[in-house]
Each structure stands twice: as C-alpha cells, then as structure tokens.
Amino acid sequence: MTKYSAAEEKLFKALGLEHLLKAPILAVGTYRLAIEEAFINNLQGPAVDALRRAGKSMQNSTPYRFTTAFDALIAFEETK
C-alpha cells in the first residue's frame, strides 16, 4: 500500500476522498483521481487550491513527496 504524509492525509480528508488513500494504486494515481473528482464536481476552496498546487508540482517533478517543501506546498487553512 502506498504511504502518505500527515499533510497528504489531511488534504484528502478535507476533500472527502480519504478512501483513496487505502486504494491499491500509486500516489500519482490517487492525486489524478482526486484532481478529476474536483474538476468534474467543480469543487472549490483552500483544499482544492492545495490539490491544484500538488498537481502542478507533480507535473514539474519538484518538490518531491515526503519532503517538508512538498508538505508546505499542500498546506491549507481549513474553513469552518
């Protein structure tokens, strides 16, 4: 099973997609599914903005997952 950082777990939970973290797929597939879900359902908000930054980061291959730089990139403030 693919491992995820606490920041990634927080992101997917905020998106309501934490079930994807248990799926037997690579992280890039998990992010792709989340991005597609956000696009199809026109999701908005800080977590979606963080997901967008993660997608751009993966496209550019920097920074790498499991680094403080990546976790900082996907950080967001939850709205109440």
Are the CB atoms for 70 and 64 separated by under 8 Å?
Answer: yes
- Confidence (pLDDT) at 80: 67
Which tens digits make up the pLDDT trace of 40-59? Answer: 999 999 999 999 999 999 99
Which tens digits make up the pLDDT trace of 10-47? Answer: 999 999 999 999 999 999 999 999 999 999 999 999 99
Are the CB atoms for 27 and 4 separated by under 8 Å?
Answer: yes
User: How many C-beta atoms lie closer than 10 Å to residue 38's C-beta?
Assistant: 20
Nearest to 7 by CA among 39, 43, 51, 42: 51
